[in-house]
Amino acid sequence: MTIPRRSLRAAGTLAAAAVVGLTGAVLTAGPAAAHTPTWAVTCSEVSLDLTAYNSKVTNQVTVTVDGKDLLSTETFGREFHKKLELPKHDKELTVHLVVKAGDGDNFSRDETKSAPVCEDATPPPAPSEGTPSRAPSTEAPTPSAKPSEAPSTSAPAVATPSPSSPDLAETGSSSATPVIAGAAVAVLLAGGGVMWSVRKRRTAQH
C-alpha cells in the first residue's frame, strides 16, 4: 500500500501546528500558574510575600489603609517580601492590596482584607463629667475614740466630819475621866493629912 506524498505533507503540517499550539498553551499557562501573591493581615501588621513573578517586566504593589497609603507604589521583579506595621486603632481597619503585573492584567490582583482591633489596644472609658470619684481606701478604719479606762478599785475616801457639826454625847470613856479621878485622889490625901495633923495636936495637949 502506497501513501500519497500529499497526504504525508498534510499530516506533517498538522502535527507541527499541533506541537506549536501545545507549546504556546504551555508557555501561556506557565506564568499564570507561577504568579503567587500571598499576603496576611493581623491586628498590628500586614505581611506581603509576592513570589514567582516575571522578572523581565516591571511589577508594582500598593497597600492602603482606609484610603491612606501604608505602602506607596513600589516596583519589584521576581519577588517582593515586606512587613508593614499598622497604626494603632480602636476600630476595624480596611486594608487594600493592589498588585499590577507587567506581563498582563490577568496576573494582577486587587484584594481587600480587614484588620481587627488588638485586645490590648482598647482605650479606657472616658471619665464622667463632674468630680471623679476617689478610689476606695484599703486602709483599716481608725477607731474614733479610745476605750474607756477600767473602773477604779480603790476604796472611797472616808468622809471627814465637818467642824460645825454638833458634839456627840460623852460616854464613860471620855478623856475627862482621868482628870476627875486625880482630883478625887488629891482631895482624899488632903483630908487624910488634915485629920493626921488634928490627932497629933490632941496627943501633944494631953
Please say whether the dihedral angle defined by the alpha carbons of residues 64, 65, 68 and 72, taken in this order, is positive or negative: negative
Please name the helix (run of DSSP H) or strand (run of DSSP E) that holds residue 95, with its range, or none: strand 93-100
Averaging pLDDT over each range in 25-29, 90-94, 161-165, which range is the top one? 90-94
Give the other-Cβ count within 10 Å of 98's Cβ.
16
Give pLDDT tens digits for 108-123. Answer: 999 999 999 998 755 5
Q: Which residue has the cell 484610603?
A: 67
Whole-model pTM: value is 0.45
In 3-state terms the chain splits into helix, strand, coil percentages (rounded to 5) of: 30, 25, 45
Give pLDDT tens digits for 72-115. Answer: 999 999 999 999 999 999 999 999 999 999 998 888 999 999 99
Bridge partners of 1? none
CA distances from residue 180 to 14, 125, 186 in whole angstroms, order as listed: 182, 109, 10
Which has more pLDDT, 95 or 134? Answer: 95
Instruction: Give me the mean pLDDT over the 119-147 stretch.
Output: 61
**CA 44 to chain CA centroid, nearest Å:** 25
Distance, CA of 35 to CA of 23 (rounded, Å) = 19
Cα angle at 194 between 191 and 195, to 5 degrees? 90
Q: Do residues 114 and 86 make contact, with C-beta atoms less than 8 angstroms apart?
A: no
